[in-house]
Each structure stands twice: as C-alpha cells, then as structure tokens.
Amino acid sequence: MPHFAPVRVRGGRRTLHRLVAHRRRALAAGLAVTAAALVAAGPHPGAGGQDTRRARGHPVADPVDERHGTRLVAAPVRIADAGTVRLLRPGDRVDVVATGEGGAGDASVVARGVRVTRVPEPDADPAAGGALVVVSVPRATAHRLVGAGTTERLAVTLC
C-alpha cells in the first residue's frame, strides 16, 4: 500500500472560528438591545410617578383599576390581627377581607389587589386592638372599607 499524506480540509479551523466569533457578536448585540429595552420600559425614579418601587409577591388576578381616570385616595384600615400587619411593607398588594364580629359567618372581600402605601408604627395601647395600615384605593372602595371597618373585623391576605 502506498503512503498517503493525511487528508486535510482547507479552511476548516478558520470557518469554525469565524462562526463562533459571529455567534458571540450576535449574542452580545441581542443582550445589549434587551438591556436597552428593559431600561427604557422600567420605572424612572424622580419622574413624578406615585410609587416606583415594585410590589412583592405574585401579580393579582383582578387588581384595583388604576387608570388615569380613577382617582385614588389613601384609606386607613384597622386590621384585627396586628401580627399580620407586621408582615406588610409599602408597595405590597393585598386583599382586604371582612368577617362577621367574632369571626362567625362568611368572609367577603371588600377590596381586591389594593396597594399598601404606609404601615404606621403599632399603637402602644394594646386595648386599641389590631393595627393600622394605609392602602391606596378608589374613593368608592374607601367608603366600603370604612363601612366594613365599623361593623366587621378586617383581615388582609398578601397577593
């Protein structure tokens, strides 16, 4: 058998190197475009918006309508369980639930997916019962919260 030189493919290494280099460029360009889009769409601190911090937790199924036509008001709500209020932070989304006095009867959702705007320090007087939380809601929902707070015990669930 005669001696043959090894078979070599011309430009094989260069072609592979060129493909890898272009893939890196394409990936870098894609990441740069994605980063620019995220920065452009994100919240802008100091732009005069309400609360630019993001809410913790999962998105809600039907949040309170916050369109431009809806005027939101701050509504203080006394929650029966002070321990639950300690878990809340401004920016959280909660459902406010009303139960009958003493916990008897059916529970009903008074406000769904409302944003917590402030959690004041708890009262030093334990006789006050519960703890206060301030939520941002439309005016009609604020009226329902006040009415439910005078006749029923209120609780919150994190959304």
What's the pTM?
A: 0.53
Q: Which pairing describes strands 153-158 and 108-118: parallel, antiparallel, or unpaired?
A: unpaired
- Among residues 91, 96, 118, 121, the alpha carbon closest in space to that of 107 is found at 96
Can you give the pLDDT at residue 69? Answer: 61
Kind plus residue range of the DSSP H or E element containing 86: none
Residue partners of 77: CB distance under 8 A and separation at least 6:
96, 132, 133, 134, 135, 145, 149, 154
pLDDT category of residue 6 using cuts at 50, 70 and 90: confident
Report pLDDT for 119: 92
Please report which helix (H) or strand (E) contains residue 77, including its range: strand 72-79
Distance of CA 117 to the CA centre of its chain: 13
What pLDDT, on the 0 to 100 scale, is given for residue 128?
A: 65
Q: Given this model, what pLDDT does residue 62 score?
A: 45
The number of beta carbons lying within 10 Å of the beta carbon of residue 80 is 18
Q: pLDDT for 74-124, tens place per residue? A: 999 999 888 888 899 999 999 999 987 655 667 889 999 999 999 988 766
